[in-house]
Amino acid sequence: MDLHVDSNCGILDWVWGIRKYKGDGYFLKVAVVLWSVWNVCNSAIFRDMVKLPHNVYKDAMHFLKEYNDVHLKTGNLVPSVSRERVRWLASKDGWYKVNMDEAVFADIQKVGVGAVIRNECREFLGAMCELMKFGLDATDAEALAALQAIEFVVDICPFNLVFEGDCVQVIKALMTSEFDFSRVGHVYSIARSKLSLAQGSSVIHVPRDGNSIAHYLAQFARNIVGSLVWLESVPPFL
């Protein structure tokens, strides 16, 4: 069945008509494309960043694939026989679990940051995602993203914190007590000093399966301008 916009029909009626006659899958594609167009317009107006029209649909489908991949991973799927899935575990009493991740978008020279805070009862306390400047390369991007996530968490929850991430390079840099002489060594030094402001802190590496929410938030940052923060509420798209 073909859909068209009737002169007596509002745009919302047309959009919901897509879901009624084409199904949820087609409706989700249309919704994501429309959302991408909206974000591209905002970027052009407020950040003087212009995206070629043919890339809008391509990027929208990429985002939709990431969305579906994350929700498949967090669903009740039968684990693979060859690899045991790692599930997120709550922190011990009196500690808060922080999951953080970064997503490097080399094509637009940006990096997405995602962080989520939950307590020992698995209650959702806060989250953020932000689209940041890339730096010189992916190494810079990962370091700057880690620092941004830590600053956000320590500012709003300076208590006993367990930080988890799936980027081995970032976690190793945060765990070491030795001075890092690399180009981004000073960034990690600042990040470790921020960690010391918390009542207590530890840093742990986890596989991607155990860090999926933070990963999704970091990927989601590609579609926003600036940053988004949620306190004591779950982001509506999770």
- In the predicted model, is pLDDT for residue 112 greater than 80? yes
> What does the pLDDT read at residue 55?
75
Query: 139 or 168: whose pLDDT is higher?
Result: 168
Distance CA 221, CA 39 (A): 11
> What does the pLDDT read at residue 221?
94
Count of other CB atoms within 10 angstroms of residue 26: 13
Lookup: tokens for 70 = 């994350």
Mean pLDDT of 190-201: 94
111 and 145 Cβ atoms separated by less than 8 Å: yes
Residue 92 three-state SS: coil
Query: 207 or 45: whose pLDDT is higher?
Result: 207
Please write the tens of the pLDDT for every residue from 132-161.
987 777 788 888 889 999 999 999 999 999
Distance CA 189, CA 196 (A): 11
- In the predicted model, is pLDDT for residue 176 greater than 80? yes
- Domains assigned to the chain: 11-73 (no CATH), 96-231 (3.30.420.10)
- In the predicted model, is pLDDT for residue 3 greater than 50? no
Q: Which band of pLDDT confidence, cut at 50, 70 and 90, is reported for residue 63?
A: confident
Distance CA 4, CA 12 (A): 13
- In the predicted model, is pLDDT for residue 81 greater than 90? no
Please write the tens of the pLDDT for every residue from 34-59.
877 877 776 667 666 666 777 777 87
Lookup: tokens for 215 = 């990963």
Beta strands across the sheet bearing 124-133: 200-205, 160-165, 96-105, 110-118, 124-133, 227-231
> What does the pLDDT read at residue 49?
66
Distance CA 117, CA 13 (A): 38
Q: Which band of pLDDT confidence, cut at 50, 70 and 90, is reported for residue 28?
A: confident
Q: Which band of pLDDT confidence, cut at 50, 70 and 90, is reported for residue 90?
A: confident
> What does the pLDDT read at residue 44?
66
> What does the pLDDT read at residue 232?
87
How much is the mean pLDDT over the chain? 81
> What does the pLDDT read at residue 4?
46
Q: What DSSP line would sit under 169-217, residue for residue?
A: HHHHHHH--SPP-STTHHHHHHHHHHHTTSSEEEEEE--GGGGHHHHHH
Q: For residues 162-184, b (16+ Cβ closer than 10 Å) or e, as one string?
A: bbbbbbeebbebbeeeeebeeeb
> What does the pLDDT read at residue 41?
75
pTM score above 0.75: no
Reported in sequence order, the residue ranges of the chain that DSSP labels E, i.e. its strands, are 96-105, 110-118, 124-133, 160-165, 200-205, 227-231
> What does the pLDDT read at residue 48?
64
Query: 2 or 120: whose pLDDT is higher?
Result: 120
Q: Which band of pLDDT confidence, cut at 50, 70 and 90, is reported for residue 10?
A: low
Query: 7 or 114: whose pLDDT is higher?
Result: 114
